[in-house]
Amino acid sequence: GAGVSQSPSNKVTEKGKDVELRCDPISGHTALYWYRQSLGQGLEFLIYFQGNSAPDKSGLPSDRFSAERTGGSVSTLTIQRTQQEDSAVYLCASSLGRMGPGMNTEAFFGQGTRLTVV
């Protein structure tokens, strides 16, 4: 596709339910990032995938959060037993490759999924 696509754009769920958020990165991008954007909190890093390497999960806030990336393309972020504090905009980004001089370092962001836990 032309850009990073995220679905759904909005999700309202009841406390305690599980949710799945989907990210379709730009074709050919090997790096994929998930961030959480809360009011006044900026962009909180959640998880990062790079090619076939083990993902960097250091930003996941609890074991209720998990993510996978199938076939090096589509990624799904799963939140189990949602809590009200999980309400936020979840952003996905992808980039062509490694950071550094001479490399394509721009991360392209999707429009995000606004999650509301009631």
Partner 1 sequence: AQSVTQLDSQVPVFEEAPVELRCNYSSSVSVYLFWYVQYPNQGLQLLLKYLSGSTLVKGINGFEAEFNKSQTSFHLRKPSVHISDTAEYFCAVSPFNTDKLIFGTGTRLQVFP
CB of 17 to partner 1, least distance (A): 27
104 scored as a contact of partner 1 (CB under 8 A): no
Q: Using CB under 8 A as the criterion, what x/- string covers residues 10-39 for binding partner 1?
A: ---------------------x-x-x----
Judged by CB under 8 A, which of 11, 13, 20, 43 binds partner 1?
Answer: 43
Q: Which residues inside 45-84 make contact with partner 1, applying CB under 8 A? A: 45, 48, 50, 56
117 scored as a contact of partner 1 (CB under 8 A): no
b/e for 30-69, b at 16 or more Cβ within 10 A?
A: bbbbbbbeeeeeeeeebbbbbeeeebeeeebeeeebebeb
Which tokens belong to 8? 């759904």
96 scored as a contact of partner 1 (CB under 8 A): no
Q: Cα separation of 93 and 112, whole Å?
A: 9
The residue ranges that bind partner 1 (CB under 8 A) are: 3-4, 31, 33, 35, 40-45, 48, 50, 56, 91, 93, 95, 98-101, 105-112
